[in-house]
Amino acid sequence: MQDEIPLLDQVGQMLRYLRGELDEAGQAEFLSWLAEHPEQAQLFEKLVNEEGMESVMAFMTNTGRDQAWTTLQHKLQLTRSVNVWPFWRRIAVAAVILVVMGAVLYNYIDRRTVVIQDLATNDIKAGEKKAFLTLSNGKRIELSNAKNGKLVEEAGISITKTADGQLLYEIKEDLAHRQGKETLYHTISTPAGGHYEVVLPDGTHVWLNAASTLKYAASVATKTERRVELSGEAYFEVKKLKFLGVKKPFIVQSDGQKVEVLGTHFNISTYPQDGPSVTTLLEGSVSVSRQGDFEETLIPGEQALVQRGIKVIKVDTATAVAWKNGLFKFENADIYTVMNQFSRWYDFDVEYEGKAPNNKFNGEIYRNLNASKALKILDYAQIKFRVEASSNDPDRKKIIIISSPIH
């Protein structure tokens, strides 16, 4: 990669050399530079010989970057019969360097190319139960590969992986004995394309969506307040709990907001790319606050959107928790909402080419379907897309949404 910068710096010199504009000293300096950079000299030689010129123009034609080069190639072929090919070649090489130097360098030096793929033969599987548990000592356990049964015992808590793939915490000593002792924190995280369930030491049941993280005290049940930290999305069924006769609140801290409950069912989504943090209440009552400046109390069927302030609206709660029930459920959703959910679940990248479509989407799709079937929703909306991957990492897909039909 160190030779890439000198080559870019020498593009102007290359053009002047090809056009015969360098004096003897300039030519000597340029040729000396080529001698010091044999890889770049090899590239330059390929560009200026006839076969190399035809290869570059073939590259331009095959990638469809500029149909005008077809005409240019035709002109060059005609000029050979009247022995002016060397003159045309110099002009053509100079023009090609200006237009495709970046692409040639990228492919020549890094040897990476973009491969167009067909989902019919290179489909993307749906997400699955997959997560990592990080203990207070830094040990990281890959839960999808761990055997069922007891995983570890720490701070008077036994952690078990059940046969149906849940993470279960069980208290093994008297809660009162844990008072005043060091607090040990655990973190469970799901990658893109993963989801998981965990039952916390206080009996609270949590479902984690893809690309999410939950941090909590292993001794959360012994605290006067139960506090967890969330990024991403999770559905909570909080167990009502008293300690010494006092109800213990359950607090979820996430980016820009705090949700406090006693015992209830609710969903929180805090993905940065989605915009506001969204709390949806299904049962009970929760208070939502933003950095202590604002506070709203929700009743079932309400949703709080937290960004610069707090906005409370009535919603169909089934849409908010559809992911937990194995569905994508869209209600007047835009293309960004749809593709953000797809990208997290199928673990692919998304890019928009040109102006993004302004379609609105409504309906349900099973999350256990492969990506090719889920993406049919785009076909139904007559939205064109293509699938790309790098030759270095063909399994890492990128979905390119385009605003005009593919020709």
Answer yes or no: is 139 within a domain: yes
Computed over every residue of the chain, the mean pLDDT equals: 79
Q: What is the DSSP letter of 22?
A: -
Q: Distance between CA atoms of 172 and 210, rounded to whole angstroms?
A: 31
Residue 133 and residue 58 in contact, taking contact as beta carbons nearer than 8 Å: no
Residue 146 and residue 188 in contact, taking contact as beta carbons nearer than 8 Å: no
Single-letter amino acid, residue 133: L
Answer yes or no: is 234 within a domain: yes
Question: Between the CA of residue 54 and those of 46, 50, 73, 76, 237, what are the distances in Å?
Answer: 10, 6, 8, 10, 66
The predicted structure's pLDDT at residue 248:
84
Q: Distance between CA atoms of 150 and 163, rounded to whole angstroms?
A: 11
% residues pLDDT > 90 (the chain): 45
Residue 98, domain extent:
4-111
Tell which of 207, 228, 254 closes a domain. 254
Is 398 found in the same domain as 330? yes
Q: Which residues pair with 17 in a beta bridge?
A: none
Query: pLDDT digits over 284-327, tens only?
Result: 999 999 876 678 999 999 999 998 889 999 999 999 999 999 99
Is 106 found in the same domain as 142? no
- Which residue in 394, 382, 330, 383 sits closest to 361, CA to CA? 330
Read off the tokens for 256. 């820009």
The predicted structure's pLDDT at residue 126:
94
Number of domains in the chain: 3
Query: pLDDT digits over 109-162, tens only?
Result: 444 566 667 777 788 999 999 999 999 889 999 998 888 999 988 767 789 999
359 vs 37 pLDDT, higher one = 359
What is the average pLDDT across 378-395?
Answer: 88
